Structure 1
Amino acid sequence: MPQRTWLRRSLLTLLGLTAALAATVGLALARADYKLQRQVDLQVAAVPLPDDAAALERGRYLYLSRGCVDCHDRAGGGRVLIDDGKGLLVRGPNIAQGSLTVANYRVEDWVRAIRHGVKPDGRPAIVMPSEDYNRLSDEDMGALIAHLQRMPRVEGGPAIVQLSLPFKAMYGLGLIEDAAEKIDHSLPPSPPMASTVSVANGAYVASMCIGCHGPGFSGGKIPGTPPDWPPASNLTPGEGSAMPAYKSAEQFATMMRSGRRPDGSAVSSVMPFNALKELNDADLHAMYAYLQTLPAKSAGRR
């Protein structure tokens, strides 16, 4: 084949591949815009809000220990969760009293956002990890909302969600899902659960880990996170498990509060230690007991 003909065909092939890639990206971005604006039709009922001291303290405990502080800060004013310097910026909104974000929230709007990952206007809350909170009992949901409605005013603004081009394209292609896509919205809430050292309570508490470690708890790369974020650890007894490092519930609890393994090495700071350190002994020991019962999976199977 003459060199000129070969070069022409190679150039045409390259141009064709470039055009196909551009078309795919364009369709992915258009699909992402559609998904961001779609309406998620849900019938959501309000839950009773308690006003007794014990329930309000339970709500405060849930807020501090279940990961809310990582997006909304301890006082509820919001904080930056992700800023990769390449266009992906996520800042949680102010959700304390007086915030414009939640000023008109009804109880069912709180339930819709927390349990289902859907905004009051029916659009998905793209970075709200509601898969972690979908099974909260009605009692705990009510206690949490009651606490949120009593949080003192604090400085802070609305949510900031700036999606990088790769993130948005992957979202449009379905490689990244929002919580409203992941959740089985027909599942009933969990029954009331006390903070006791039981496998049932351990499963209830460990649901806060699903967003990062996957529904099967075997970890792997967390979809949509910056490239420098490490994969989530395998919490099952399978190949590549992180759990053999912890010979007892006490060692596991110490790591969750200190961010360090029994050998002194540091666990990645992307773990939500601001929240995990707030878990009480019963919940941590129950989680450890539950993780021992998981079926073995190889690391990264989510």
Structure 2
Amino acid sequence: MTSKVRSRLAVLVVLAAVAALLAWALSVVLNRSGDPQAQMKQAMSPQLIEKGAYLARAGDCVACHTSHDGGKPFAGGLGIASPIGTIYSTNITPDASTGIGNWTYGDFERAMRRGIGHDGSALYPAMPYPSYAKVSDQDLEALYAYFMKGVAPVAQANKANDIPWPLSIRWPLAYWRTLFSPLPADEGVAEAAAQSELQRGAYLVQGLGHCGSCHTPRALTMQEKGLDESAGGYLTGAELNGWAVPALRGMPHWSQQQIVDYLGSGRNSVASVAGEMKDVIANSTSHMSDADLQAMAVYLKSLEGGKAPAYQHQPQRSEGTTAKLTAAKGLNLGERLYVDNCGACHFVSGEGAPEVFPRLDGASVVNADNPAALIHVILAGAQTPSTERAPSVLPMPGFAERMDDAEVAELATFLRQGWSNHAAAVTAAQVSDVRAELQHGH
């Protein structure tokens, strides 16, 4: 290597180091958004703490900040899978040494709405701060009051994230946040949220409810393709851990009351909850007021521009399947498996029983492009949560021990192509993949 080449390489190294230093310095500036010394404007009263408890339910904070292996509420430790590795939720109890007990209101506000940690570092967007940016000052103060005075402190150290270097470097997240997360809304939000049922519903769905975190597709850079109805991709459905997450725009096959019933109890006249939405119902929406559930339903029904549903009811096809199952002659393997294992609850009509057994003719989980969720339910079963509005638990058994992969594939294919359903067939290989995931605890 000549001295001229070495000199050029040295210059390039120096320039790269300077550029990296400048980029880091700018990220520090970006992480100074908000005031860590900001104080609450409302008095820390029992009423404010009670309001905060309700809002924490609306935000389902306990779901992510509580370990599923017997962890104490809000003490963190839940592993959240991401494309870059596993992120562990943090302790948000008021413990002074391991939780947020020493946080000012300003620290809390910056973390919730700006994605900036107590130490000034950028937070991973596993924390839905792009949605929480819509939360009003008044509601955020109530949440702070609740977590400081209404939650029991738990001394539990935070777990280190399992993210390899250099992906574990956080300061570039300041740029992600600047590009994809809005600044906190001004206090006009609080007034607008009280003006009409529609606006209240939008405030809850877009903000604390952070429904878009699961129901909105994400770009390659992992931001949601829209944070409100102004974006065409908002709430158009996505995929989460192998489950097809349905679109929520307009929800043409459900009435407003069916949405309210589902959110309030985990079941309605045509469907029952399964998958990760079960925890949302159990921890969050089932504890919300009828007025807020109605507002959310009004907002979701108001949305337009969702993709046309793949399912269209065809009476002749549905009646044909019902007649064949009733006669029980010339049945293929999938049809026989249905009659023997499913018909007693879901009936030959595939209509199920309102508020008890979900309807299969037209069900989104049956007609989804990806059949993994349907396969999961067949193998592992499901059960509704016990809620105040619907205390009884309705279980469906799993058939993993009773059926092999080929049989599950045949049953799932019948479900996806019987009655008016017309989704693609399921293969034994697809069943094998889901079975393997279940065996590994996913």
Alpha carbons of structure 1 residues 178 and 64: separation in structure 2 relative to 1, 3 Å:
farther
**Matched position secondary structure for 1:95:** coil
CA distance in 1, matches of 2:80, 2:275: 15
> Which residue does 1:245 correspond to in 2?
253
Higher RCO (C-alpha under 8 Å, 6+ residues apart): 1
What amino acid is aligned across from residue 95 of structure 2 in structure 1? G
**Are residues 161 and 277 of structure 1, via their aligned partners in 2, closer, same or farther at CA, if it must alter by over 3 Å?**
farther
User: Is the radius of gyration larger for structure 1 or structure 2?
Assistant: 2
The farther-off stretch of 51-60 and 40-49 is 40-49
Cα 1:102–1:275, aligned 2, differ >3 Å: closer, same or farther?
same
Q: 1:91 to 1:193 in 2, by over 3 A?
A: farther
RMSD of aligned residue pairs (Cα, Å): 3.6
Encode CA deviations 1:19-52: one digit per residue, 9 max, x unaligned: xxxxxxxxxxxx9xx89x9432313344324322
Counterpart in the other structure of 1:97? 94
Match of 2:61 among 45, 49, 68: 68
Task: Quote the offset at 1:56 in angstroms.
Answer: 1.4
What is the rounded CA distance, in whole Å, between the counterparts of 2:73 and 2:215 in structure 1? 27
In 2, are the aligned partners of 1:93 and 1:156 still within 8 Å (CA)? Answer: no
Q: Secondary structure at the match of 2:87?
A: strand
What's the counterpart of residue 236 of structure 2? 219
Deviation at 1:211, TM superposition (A): 2.2
Which of 39-48 and 144-153 deviates more? 39-48
- Number of aligned residue pairs: 251
Indicate yes or no: 2:305 matched with 1:296: yes
2:52 aligned partner = 59
Offset at residue 146 of structure 1 (A):
0.6
Alignment of 1:1-302 (within 5 A): 38-39=27-28, 40-44=31-35, 45-73=38-66, 75-82=73-80, 88-99=85-96, 100-126=98-124, 127-150=126-149, 151-163=151-163, 168=167, 181-185=179-183, 187-189=185-187, 190-192=189-191, 198-207=197-206, 208=209, 209-214=211-216, 215=227, 216=229, 217-221=234-238, 228-237=241-250, 243-249=251-257, 251-260=258-267, 262-270=269-277, 272-273=280-281, 274-298=283-307
Q: Which amino acid aligns with 2:32?
A: D
Name the amino acid aligned to 2:248.
L
Q: 1:264 to 1:233 in 2, by over 3 A?
A: closer
In the TM superposition, residue 277 of structure 1 has moved relative to its aligned partner by 2.1
In the alignment, the residues of structure 2 paired with residue 235 and residue 199 of structure 1 have an alpha-carbon distance, to the nearest angstrom, of 15
Letter in 1 for 2:104: R
User: 1:166-207: CA deviations, max 9, x gaps?
Assistant: xx59x9999xx9656422216424224777971111111111
Q: Output the CA distance in 2 between the equivalents of 1:232 and 1:289.
A: 20
Contact between 1:81 and 1:92, CA under 8 Å: does it hold in 2? yes
Query: What's the offset of the Cα at 1:89?
Result: 2.5
Give unmatched runs, 5+ long, in structure 2. 1-19, 67-71, 217-226, 310-442
Which letter maps to 2:58? S
CA gap 1:179/1:65 in 2 versus in 1, 3 angstroms: farther
**How many angstroms apart in 2 are the aligned matches of 1:125 and 1:285?**
33
TM-aligned CA distance change 1:179 to 1:64, over 3 Å: farther
Distance 1:195 1:70, change over 3 A: farther
Q: Secondary structure at the residue paired with 1:162?
A: coil
Displacement of 1:95: 1.4
TM-score (norm: length of structure 2): 0.49
For the structure 1 residues 122 and 147, does the alpha-carbon distance in structure 2 shift closer, same or farther, using more than 3 Å as the test?
Answer: same
Letter in 1 for 2:214: C
**Residues 115, 154 of structure 1: alpha-carbon distance in 2 compared, 3 angstrom cutoff:** same
Aligned-partner Cα distance in 2 for 1:260–1:164: 41
SS at match of 1:161: coil
* Pairwise CA distance, 1:87: 8.1
CA pair 141-245 structure 1, distance change in 2 beyond 3 A: same
1:44-92 CA distance string (max 9 Å, x none): 34432432222211001111221211122373212415358x9833332
Kept in 2: contact 1:124–1:180 (CA 8 A): no
193-202 or 269-278, which deviates more? 193-202
8 Å Cα contact 2:93/2:153 also seen in 1: yes
CA distance in 2, matches of 1:172, 1:46: 27
Q: Deviations over 1:250-291 (max 9, x none)?
A: x21221234345323434325633222222211110000111
After TM superposition, give the deviation of residue 292 of structure 1 in Å. Answer: 1.8
